[in-house]
């Protein structure tokens, strides 16, 4: 990797700004000053310092975001605020992207990363990674709905969903439920309830796999995953 790219990726400035820093001679690779922006460095093997301070190389970031309503799951958009717009500069410079998506009017747990392999592993249909939601439903959710969801329901386009686990939290004209699915079809949760004659009025994702959203994160807030949380997501059944 070029030294200017490494320093820029680690937040030491733009490529242009980093080149100016390099010319001062304060950057060293394994104790040797380096001024050439094109100089190659192996960050996993070599020690890079600026003014004697070690540059800690971090190729990937893994973020847990509590997505608010009105923000779209995209990297950029001319009309709407995106989940990337919620990130601080030191995280946005990694050019991350959302893992999957949450609808504009859906809140909750969204992962953001710049690691394509991590994203693919969680999104792959072969992994059957569960997503758990809590929702407010217009209409009384019944035991018959639990059975129907467990067997799979037919969506408006004729698609038969995979079995889903429905739990009733409160049962009335306005019901509250928890739903765990292993798919991510377009507007799937909303369409599943429409298939049984009911309507989702509030929706929030609370967990991905065995990892639950940090309850201390307010809407719009995020933090990096711990190593233990990363491993929990990557565990295979």
pLDDT band at 237 (very low <50, low <70, confident <90, very high): low
Is the CB of residue 211 less than 8 Å from the CB of residue 233? Answer: yes
**Could you report the per-residue pLDDT of 80-93, keeping only the tens digit for each?**
999 999 999 889 98
Least confident among 57-61, 107-111, 141-145, 230-234: 57-61
Q: Which of these is catalytic: 85, 103, 115, 214?
A: 103
Looking at residue 8, its pLDDT comes to 87
pLDDT band at 2 (very low <50, low <70, confident <90, very high): very high
**Could you report the per-residue pLDDT of 165-194, keeping only the tens digit for each?**
999 999 999 999 999 999 989 999 999 999
Continuous H helices in 62-153: 89-92, 116-123, 143-151
- pTM for this entry: 0.85
Which of the four CATH numbers 1.10.10.60, 3.40.640.10, 3.30.70.580, 3.30.70.890 does domain 62-125+214-234 have? 3.30.70.580
The residue among 90 and 218 whose pLDDT is bigger is 218
Active site residue 103: yes
CATH superfamily for 3-54 is RNA-binding S4 domain (3.10.290.10)
Looking at residue 211, its pLDDT comes to 97
**Could you report the per-residue pLDDT of 131-167, keeping only the tens digit for each?**
999 999 999 999 999 999 999 999 999 999 999 999 9
Is the CB of residue 69 less than 8 Å from the CB of residue 105? Answer: yes
For residue 40, pLDDT over 90 is answered with yes
**Any idea where the domains of the chain sit in the sequence?**
3-54, 62-125+214-234, 131-208
131-208 fold: Alpha-Beta Plaits (3.30.70)
Is the CB of residue 54 less than 8 Å from the CB of residue 47? Answer: yes
Domain 3-54 shares a fold with domain 131-208: no
Exposed/middle/buried for residue 6 (C-beta within 10 Å: 0-12, 13-18, 19+): buried
């Amino acid at each position: 990797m070029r030294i200017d790219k490494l320093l820029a990726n680690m937040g030491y400035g733009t490529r242009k700004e980093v080149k100016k820093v390099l010319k001062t001679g304060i950057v060293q690779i394994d104790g040797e000053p380096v001024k050439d922006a094109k100089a190659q460095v192996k960050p996993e093997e070599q020690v890079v310092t600026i003014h004697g301070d070690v540059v800690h190389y971090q190729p990937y970031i893994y973020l847990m975001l509590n997505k608010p309503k009105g923000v779209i799951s995209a990297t950029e958009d001319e009309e709407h605020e995106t989940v990337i717009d919620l990130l601080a500069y030191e995280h946005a410079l990694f050019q991350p992207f959302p893992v999957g998506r949450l609808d504009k009017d859906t809140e909750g747990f969204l992962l953001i990363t710049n690691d394509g392999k991590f994203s693919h592993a969680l999104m792959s249909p072969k992994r059957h990674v569960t997503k758990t939601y809590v929702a407010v439903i217009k209409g009384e959710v019944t035991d018959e709905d639990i059975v129907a969801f467990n067997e799979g329901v037919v969506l408006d386009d004729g698609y038969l969903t995979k079995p889903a686990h429905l739990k009733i939290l409160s049962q009335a004209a306005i019901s509250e439920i928890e739903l765990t699915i292993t798919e991510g079809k377009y507007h799937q949760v909303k369409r599943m309830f429409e298939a049984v004659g009911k309507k989702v009025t509030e929706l929030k994702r609370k967990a991905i796999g065995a990892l639950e959203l940090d309850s201390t994160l307010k809407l719009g807030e995020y933090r990096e995953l711990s190593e233990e949380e990363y491993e929990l997501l990557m565990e295979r059944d």
